[in-house]
Amino acid sequence: MVYDITDENLAKNWSLKFDEIGLLGSKPARAFLGFAVQLKFFQQYGWFPETHSDVPDNVTGYLAEQLELSTSDVDGYEWSGRSGRRHRAEILKFSGCRRMTAGDKETLRQWLCEFQCPQGIALEEMVENTLQWCLEQKIVSSSRKELIRLIRSYRQRYIDEFLETISKALSANTVEMMESSLVEPDGPTGFHSLRADTGRIALESIINAANRLAFIQNLSLPRTLISVLGTVWAEQLSRRVSCEKASEMRRHTKHIRLGMYAVFLIEREACIKDGLVDLLIDTVHKISTKAERKIGAHVLRTVEKIYGKEKLLANIAAAAIANPDGMVRKVIFPVAGRRKLQAIIEDRNAKGAWKEQVFVAMRSSYANHYRRMLPQILDVLKFRSNNAAHRPIVDALNTMSRMVEDTRRFIQADEGFPIDDVVAPKWREFVIGSDGRINRVSYEICLLSALRDRIRCKEIWIPGSNRYRNPDDDLPKDFNTNRSEYYSGLNLGLDAKDFVAKIQSELEQSLCLLNREIPSNPHVRVLWQGKNRISLSPLRPQPEPPGLIALKAEIGRRWPMTSLLDALKGVCYG
């Protein structure tokens, strides 16, 4: 443990009192500094240093200055020897402290389980809190290592008891489903499948993720009980389960296995929801962009068929003027054949019906393939909105969820399907018929597009999700009351127009700087073709900092088979 002690703290807490100096009278001069260090260190932290390295140098120097001694006097002090142990007993008697008994250990266990363990605080912080508690209770452990061992034991006991409580709260059907998932880990809802990522953008990935989510939701897990465990413990247990194989999970006792698995599944549910929403957003975008590319390629092929169209039309006009009374077959066809004229007509029709063709392509792709995802998504995801302007979309989704078994092709707006907030104006002529009826498949496409836009800006959120949770949860509880203080802390004003104007000004300055610097920058080129028109030259790698080189060398010396990256991963996920 490294202690950072300031000069002010030294003067306040490390100054020797007259009665404390009086304790030195019966001791040899060579033990003065070591005794004083043990005394003041115990008063501050509740444990005795085992070696001189446990004591900050400025503390030793400050105490030596008060006793008019040299700091080197402490070098020969027997910290763990007979003299050091005798001095500790004298310090305990002077401080009115006693050794920890079996009853004290039970009291300590109850205090840890009630006030420390539920918070999920780190072991080092818990040790420091326990030492302060021991000082207040006038008791002391035999050693710091012994106290750490007790705290580890009590922490583990607390977790085991809590997991047993969770296990006992599970119904027989839930236990059977969870055990079956561990026995067949590679099945659709097996342990390994539940632990896997949602996968690439595809209909199969959406259906698989929805099935996994439905499996977890049907387990009837004791969510209220698990929420008492706290976020820190839940994350630690979830990481532990995610690093184990199904065979390793089955080796645990039944209560521990089921308790850990239940906590993992609740944590995993939020991750699967995030992945499923990501797939939904990307899939809706894919349907739109794929349709535009398809129609764009078709238009390009049509244009290629009539290369030189302006010249061809000029030749047709010249032939018609030269022989106005002639037959079309004899005057026009020799200049432009039937195929050329048909290609011109198709080109004109394609340009005039671009929106319609794109929407027809979107509808075809959705109706013939992707539509199967909608019932699955509506069954496992619930959508909410805090903004009344966007609740019509949520209402339409709820109505659509209730009509999953309805096979009608056309629906009516008065059945709970709003138009203005769901269907974009450019698509309305393709969604609403002349008789006022709404094409259901076309409406679903518009509804999913509107939902995608609202989710991305967090106007619509998903309960139980992490990344797409209620945006109000990201604000402090007193945000509405102390709004101005929070804005002031962020160096922001309360006027939205001023904020937008400032952002616009910064963007304008950045774009002007980019426009001015690009022509003279040798590392930037503007390309005339391709998707990305601005090309940047790769930067030269910077030299490694000396500290990083030394750290790698030390890790290689201590653990020859371990790299720095492995060490960092172990710290992060361990």
Scanning 102-143, the segments in alpha helix (DSSP H) are 102-111, 123-137
Neighbours of 123 (CB within 10 A): 11
Q: What ranges do the domains of the chain cover?
A: 7-96, 99-167, 289-351, 382-467, 549-574
Q: Is 1's pLDDT higher than 60?
A: no
Q: Which residue has the higher pLDDT, 468 or 492?
A: 468
Read off the pLDDT of each residue in 185-198 and give the average, rounded to a whole number.
Answer: 93
Q: Do 285 and 452 form a contact (C-beta atoms < 8 A)?
A: yes
| Least confident among 28-32, 237-241, 501-505 | 28-32
What is the distance between the alpha carbons of residues 221 and 166, in angstroms, rounded to a whole number?
9
pLDDT of residue 533: 81
Q: What is the Cα–Cα distance from 139 to 97, expressed in whole angstroms?
A: 5
Three-class secondary structure of residue 384 per DSSP? strand
- Bridge partners (DSSP) listed for residue 176: none
* Confidence band, pLDDT 50/70/90 cuts, at residue 151: very high
Does residue 301 have a pLDDT over 80?
no
Number of C-beta neighbours around residue 336 at 10 A: 18
The residue-averaged pLDDT of 388-403 equals 92
| Mean per-residue pLDDT over the chain, rounded | 87
Distance CA 298, CA 496 (A): 45
Q: What is the reported pLDDT for 276?
A: 96
Confidence of residue 313 (pLDDT cuts 50, 70, 90): low
Q: Which of 321-335, 418-432, 457-471, 490-504 has the lowest mean pLDDT?
A: 321-335
CA–CA dist 212, 216 (Å, integer) = 6
pLDDT tens, position by position, 222-278 = 988 888 888 889 999 999 999 999 999 999 999 999 999 999 999 999 999 999 999
242-246, 367-371, 372-376, 567-571: the lowest-pLDDT one: 567-571
**How far, in Å, CA of 522 to CA of 514, rounded?**
13
Tens digit of pLDDT for each residue in 544-554? 888 888 888 88
Q: Kindly tell me if the per-residue pLDDT of 153 is higher than 90.
A: yes
Distance CA 494, CA 480 (A): 12
Alpha helix (H) ranges present in 518-563?
546-558
| Residue 407: band (very low, low, confident or very high) from pLDDT cuts 50, 70, 90 | confident
pLDDT attached to residue 518: 86
Question: What is the percentage of the chain residues whose pLDDT exceeds 70?
Answer: 90
Confidence (pLDDT) at 292: 87
426 vs 182, higher pLDDT: 182
Check pLDDT > 60 for residue 2: no
| Token digits of residue 437 | 């009826």
Residue 368: per-residue pLDDT: 94
Nearest Cα to Cα of residue 62 among 3, 125, 132: 3
pLDDT level of residue 448 (50, 70, 90 thresholds): very high
The DSSP code for 116 is I
Specify the higher pLDDT residue, 303 or 334: 334
Q: How many Cβ atoms are within 10 Å of 130's Cβ, its own excluded? A: 22
pLDDT at residue 302, rounded to an integer: 60
- pLDDT, position 149: 92
Q: What integer pLDDT is reported at residue 490 of this predicted model?
A: 86
What is the predicted pLDDT for the residue at 308?
Answer: 58
Q: Burial, 330: exposed, middle or buried (Cβ in 10 Å; 0-12, 13-18, 19+)?
A: exposed
pLDDT digits (tens, 9 = 90+) for 125-146: 898 899 889 888 998 876 788 8
* Res. 524: pLDDT tops 60: yes
Confidence of residue 191 (pLDDT cuts 50, 70, 90): very high
Tokens 């994350």 -> residue? 235
Question: How would you class 420 by CB atoms within 10 Å of its CB: exposed for 0-12, middle for 13-18, buried for 19 or more?
Answer: exposed
Is-contact 367 442, C-beta < 8 A? no
How do residues 508-517 score in pLDDT, each as one tens digit?
999 999 889 8
Q: Which of 268, 196, 276, 212 is nearest to 455 (CA)?
A: 276
| pLDDT above 60 (res 304) | no
| pTM of the complete model | 0.74
pLDDT at 316 (0 to 100): 65
Mean pLDDT computed over 318-345: 68
Those residues whose C-beta lies under 8 Å from the C-beta of residue 312, and which sit 6 or more positions away, are 306, 335, 336, 340, 344
- State the Rg of the chain over Cα: 37
Using alpha carbons, select from 73, 50, 47, 48 the residue that is nearest to residue 60. Answer: 73
